[in-house]
Amino acid sequence: MKVLVVGSGGRENALAWKLAQSEKVSRVYGAPGNPGIARIGECVEIEPTNIKALADFAEKEGIDLTVVGPEAPLVKGIVNEFERRGLKIFGPTKEAARLEGSKAFAKEVMKKYQVPTADFKIFTDPKEAKEYVKKVGAPIVVKADGLAAGKGVIVAKSVSEAVEAVEKIMEEKVFGEAGNKVVIEECLEGEEASYLVITDGERFIPLATSQDHKAVFDNDQGPNTGGMGAYSPAPVLSEELEREVQEKVIAPIIKGMKEEGAPFKGVLYAGLMITERGIKVLEFNVRFGDPEAQAILRRLESDLFEVCLSAVEGNLVKELKWKPETSVCVVLASKGYPGKYEKGKVITGIEEAEKVPTVVVFHAGTKEVNGKLLTNGGRVLNVTALGRDIIEARERAYRAVEKIHFEGMHYRKDIGLKAVKRLKGE
């Protein structure tokens, strides 16, 4: 069987790595892929949003299954085009992908199907949005409605900061068309967790729990990023809380999307805040998280190809097998990320890093030029490790990190520390 992975980041490298382990998979392609994916299979120069070219390639090459990494092609309708041509593809349709493509749509669906979330209001007029902020005060959250590469959410600690966020999103259009609408919602306090399931539109099967680290600096300081690291499992999600998420969040949304005439197939990702008032949904994503996928897939024992195919064909597998170990993923980023950063810095030490027991390094923003590996993005590498517990997994991951070098390399040093404190009963 031939598999095509759409995308070029660390998540896609992890997906290709895991799919290639299937006995049923003979060849893996990445579009456009990256040097990490090139070690596993073949990279083809097609951008993720060039849907026609991707479908043409899948037809010509006889691709048996396409797995989509990033959200943009899903929101643009890649699944609709592939299905129209009779090609098997893992992911939601354009209509179902609105759960991520429009934060306003997601909030309205949550309200309609009684999924717990923060109180909110939707605005298309910046003047009205600013007046509302001044009336209700801060802290408050301002969200660009559309896709903004994980950067369209501003947690404003003051009214002036919230007003500035509205101006940047709606008037200056820093996120382009994504800022035509904003969602303004109450600021929730608690501990975040990510809960991902695979669904065939009717049934769902949970993935291992994980926790992402969004802020760029230690202790959750600084601006939000696409994610600076993750670990799995996340002890904040007890079995009891997990059941609650399944009953109050996942099941109603899958049922609701079907009732809306847009059945959801693929990965449904709920970004959660565990508050004193219970679980609240911060957002939905319609694909594997990045870097949650890297942490989760390191622990998956089941055949990912079989699982994805079963969801596409509407006969979802009954259960998944997981390694008992804990996994940690540390993101190595370029200096200046998530703002402006330079590319083209020489990367060394990956081979040495992978000599540390259980360590696998996934490429996120890299390119190869004349035999040299160079930085080519904000998030450059994902260093992953397994351990008996969070302490051993962290120790191995950070030991490997110390062996890798590129100019301006930045990373958080506290990935997984919340789980360490729980383990020690602090």
Q: Within 10 A of 64 (CB to CB), how many other CB atoms are there? A: 18
Single out the residue of 394, 386, 390, 400 nearest to residue 354, CA to CA.
400
**Cα separation, 250 vs 108, whole angstroms:** 16
Q: What pLDDT does residue 22 have?
A: 98
CATH homologous superfamily of domain 125-180? ATP-grasp fold, A domain (3.30.1490.20)
Q: What are phi and psi of 387, to 5 degrees?
A: -155, 165
Token pair listed for 281: 């949904």
**Cα separation, 288 vs 92, whole angstroms:** 12
Q: What pLDDT does residue 134 have?
A: 94
**Cα separation, 83 vs 64, whole angstroms:** 12
Single out the residue of 209, 213, 211 nearest to residue 250, CA to CA.
209
191-312 — its CATH code? 3.30.470.20
Element (H, E) at 76: helix 71-76
What are the domain boundaries of the chain?
Answer: 2-91, 125-180, 191-312, 326-423
User: How does pLDDT run along the chain (426 residues), one tens digit per residue?
Assistant: 999 999 999 999 999 999 999 999 999 999 999 999 999 999 999 999 999 999 999 999 999 999 999 999 999 999 999 999 999 999 999 999 999 999 999 999 999 999 999 999 999 999 999 999 999 999 999 999 998 876 788 889 999 999 999 999 999 999 999 999 999 999 999 988 889 999 999 999 999 999 999 899 999 999 888 899 999 999 888 899 999 999 999 999 999 999 999 999 999 999 999 999 899 999 999 999 999 999 999 999 999 999 999 999 999 999 999 999 999 999 999 999 999 999 999 999 999 999 999 999 999 999 999 999 999 999 999 999 999 999 999 999 999 999 999 999 999 999 999 999 888 877
Q: What pLDDT does residue 150 have?
A: 67
Amino acid found at 351? E
326-423 — its CATH code? 3.90.600.10
Q: What pLDDT does residue 223 have?
A: 86
2-91 — its CATH code? 3.40.50.20
Q: Is 179 exposed, middle or buried (0-12, 13-18, 19+ CB in 10 A)?
A: buried
Amino acid found at 368? E
Q: What pLDDT does residue 365 have?
A: 97
SS3 of residue 258 by DSSP: helix
Its pTM stands at 0.94
